[in-house]
Amino acid sequence: MEENSTIRVIELFAGVGGFRVGLEKANKELFEVAWANQWEPSRKAQDAFDCYARNFTEGMHVNEDIGEIPDEVFQDIEPSLVVGGFPCQDYSVARSLSGEKGIQGKKGVLFWQIERVIEKTHPKYVLLENVDRLLKSPSSQRGRDFAVMLATFRNLNYTVEWRVINAAEYGFAQRRRRVFIFAYKNGITFDQEQQQIDAKDIVFKEGFFAKPLPVQEEPYKNREDYETIPIDRVEISDNFSFNFHNAGVMRNGKIYTAHVQPVDMNPTPLSDILLDEELIDDKFYLSEQMEEKFKYLRGPKKIERTSQDGHKYYFSEGGMSPTDDLDKPGRTMLTSEGSINRSTHIIEVNGRKRFLTPIECERLNGFDDNWTAGMTDRMRYFCMGNALVVNLIEIMGNRIIEINTIKTNNEEEIQLGLSL
């Protein structure tokens, strides 16, 4: 058994650095984030990148369109781990015009950049995060997009595990549900060990996620399925549809997926992340007019509307509590947090109603206080609505350290073969 060695990391679509914060919480000495990219194409101000550059001094930070970065940049880094939270987009593909040059995906789809980085660098591990609806998209062909992604990893010689995780169910302060995708290179030590384990046991007991984030022993209501992904990604794009459950594993194109239930831990209530009320600026308290507006927004309603073709219908919305319960974890924070919006958190302390402050939103995601200081409050809320719960990445970072401990001679031969 070898002692742990440095794990060199490329961080894609870095935002304000949530993946890096989590990995460094796990072990700052072992995770070396050598290169990170953050770029907002539609914005002149690059607030997220500026925040990242303020908070991290080591490694290279790049504020450019990733599609313009040459392959050689990634190859020179030789990463062991690629991480990123990428947008949920349309992953449909088609044949190239010649019919001989593989496939063409829609331009601007950032997952193709992830594919390019992996294809050029062959990292041992890939850890990605996305909204959980990825597993069901598009609505007209359920599961197609995720199947295209799985086929991409299969073609690159990777095995994939996924899990939808609600952070509050593992002890944290936000009911934020996201899908995490962990891919590992076929042939490495962890893969050799996992090959000896039944797919169901990987998902429920022995896999990347199940060990540190335990689930109950059997699928919810016996919901489990098996499937094989077609070889041709164009065939998947055109015809494939499948019901992916909230956890699963894909090995050599064969899928096992099940609806897992977490072994719940006591969540952190909102009250635990609040600032002392004496520190709250008056601008965060609601005026009488704002209180009335939120009373309407959060109340039940039935509104008659007319569609473009003249059809009349009723839009109905159920009521929700006028304020968020301080004894429960927060709801999922959106990029609209802090605005006059139904999804915004409203709390009542000492008889006064107010918004969460930007610092409290940072705490909901596990960041240090004032991590996003230096930008407007509106952008601080926006960045936290886009961020992830870094405590989950800390748990996953520790798991990566654990599985990276042993390196066999066979694995060294594989790595040598890739470099030749």
- Which pLDDT belongs to residue 1? 36
* Rounded Cα distance, 15 and 271, in Å: 27
Please choose, from the candidates 207, 206, 204, 213, the residue with its C-alpha nearest in 3D space to the C-alpha of residue 259.
204
CA angle 47, 280, 393 (to 5 degrees): 50
- Which pLDDT belongs to residue 303? 87
Q: In sequence order, which ranges of 97-188 are alpha helices (DSSP H)?
A: 111-121, 144-155
CA-based Rg of the chain, rounded to a whole angstrom?
23
Q: From the first residue on, what is the mean pLDDT of each consecutive set of 10 residues in the chain (420 residues)? A: 76 97 97 97 91 97 96 97 90 72 72 96 98 94 96 97 98 97 97 96 98 97 96 94 98 98 94 97 97 95 85 88 96 96 96 97 98 97 97 98 75 52
Q: Is the peptide bond before 138 cis (omega within 30 degrees of 0)?
A: yes
pTM, entire model: 0.93
Give the C-alpha distances (Å, rounded to integers) separating 43 from 3, 40, 46, 50, 335: 44, 6, 7, 13, 15
* Rounded Cα distance, 210 and 228, in Å: 23
* Rounded Cα distance, 271 and 259, in Å: 31
Q: Spell out the domains of the chain, with CATH numbers in brackets.
A: 7-265+389-419 (3.40.50.150), 270-386 (3.90.120.10)
For residue 52, count other CB atoms closer than 10 A to its CB: 22
For residue 92, count other CB atoms closer than 10 A to its CB: 19
**DSSP state letter for 3:** P
Helix (H, G, I), strand (E, B), or coil: what is residue 326? coil
- Which pLDDT belongs to residue 414? 52
* Rounded Cα distance, 214 and 224, in Å: 17
Q: Map tokens 């109603």 to a residue.
A: 353
**Is 383 among the residues known to form the active site?**
no
For residue 48, count other CB atoms closer than 10 A to its CB: 25
Residue 226 phi, psi (nearest 5): -120, 150
* Rounded Cα distance, 59 and 65, in Å: 18
Please choose, from the candidates 126, 131, 187, the residue with its C-alpha nearest in 3D space to the C-alpha of residue 152.
126
Please choose, from the candidates 111, 86, 40, the residue with its C-alpha nearest in 3D space to the C-alpha of residue 382.
40
Please choose, from the candidates 227, 229, 228, 216, the residue with its C-alpha nearest in 3D space to the C-alpha of residue 259.
216
* 262: β partners: 215
Do the beta carbons of residue 3 and residue 77 sit within 8 Å?
no
Do the beta carbons of residue 347 and residue 274 sit within 8 Å?
yes
